[in-house]
Amino acid sequence: MDIPQFELRRDFTQRANEYFTGGSGDLTEVQIFTGPAAALPEKMSRNLVQSRFAGQQRRAGRGLPKEAVLLTAKTGGGQWISAAVYVRPRDPAALLILMLQTLTLYAAVLIPLALVTRRIVKPLERLTQRVGRVGLTEEADPLRSEGPSDIRNLINSFNAMQARVSALLGEKDVMLGAIGHDLKTPLAALRVRIESVEDDAEREKMVAAIDEMVTILDDILTLARMGKSGEAKQQTDLAALVESVAEEFVSTGAAVQMTEPDGRILALVRPILLRRAVRNLIGNAVKHGGNADIIVMHSGGEIAIHIDDNGPGIAAEQIENMFQPFTRVDISRNRASGGSGLGLTIARAIASAHGGTVTLINRTAGGIRATISLPV
The answer to whether the CB of 67 falls within 8 A of the CB of 87 is yes
pLDDT in tens, 96-149: 888 999 999 999 999 998 888 888 888 888 888 888 777 555 556 788 888 888
Q: Could you count the other beta carbons within 10 Å of the beta carbon of residue 48?
A: 19
33: Cβ contacts below 8 Å, ≥ 6 apart = 3, 6, 7, 8, 9, 69, 70, 71, 72
Instruction: Supply the pLDDT for residue 333.
Output: 38
Q: What confidence category does residue 331 fall into, taking pLDDT thresholds of 50, 70 and 90? A: very low
CB atoms within 10 A of CB 218: 14
From 23-27, 53-57, 121-125, 170-174, the region with the lowest mean pLDDT:
23-27
Question: What's the pLDDT tens digit per position in 42-55?
Answer: 888 888 888 887 77
Mean pLDDT of the residues in the chain = 84
Q: How far apart are CA 375 and CA 351, in angstroms?
A: 10
Query: Where are any strands of DSSP class E within 111-264?
Result: 234-237, 256-259
Q: Is residue 375 scored above 50 in pLDDT?
A: yes
**248/242 Cα distance (integer angstroms):** 10
| Residue 113 burial (CB count, 10 A) | 10
Distance separating alpha carbons of residues 154 and 112, to the nearest angstrom: 24
The yes-or-no verdict on residue 360 having pLDDT over 90 is: yes
Annotated domain spans of the chain: 7-89, 165-226, 231-375
Angle CA 219–221–224, to nearest 5: 110
Tell me the pLDDT tens digit for each residue of 304-324.
999 999 999 898 888 988 888
Statement: residue 334 has pLDDT above 50 = no
DSSP, collapsed to helix, strand or coil, labels residue 257 as strand
How many angstroms separate the CA atoms of 3 and 33, rounded? 8
Q: What pLDDT sits at residue 335?
A: 46
pTM of the model: 0.56
Which of 1-5, 280-284, 293-297, 354-358 has the weakest average pLDDT?
Answer: 1-5
Neighbouring residues of 331: CB distance < 8 A, sequence distance ≥ 6: 338
Give the pLDDT score at 164. Answer: 86
CA-wise closest residue to 291 among 333, 256, 325, 248: 256
**CATH label, 231-375, candidates 3.40.50.300, 3.30.565.10, 3.30.420.40, 3.40.50.920:** 3.30.565.10
Say if residues 329 and 314 touch (Cβ distance below 8 Å). Answer: yes
Burial 17-46 (b: 16+ CB within 10 A, else e): beebeeeeeebeebbbbebebeebeeebee
Q: What is the rounded average pLDDT of the residues 18-44?
A: 82
pLDDT (0 to 100) of residue 211: 82
pLDDT at position 87, please?
83
Buried b (16+ CB within 10 A) or exposed e, 163-200: eeebeebeeebeebeeebeeeeeeeeeebeebeeeeee
pLDDT at 115: 87
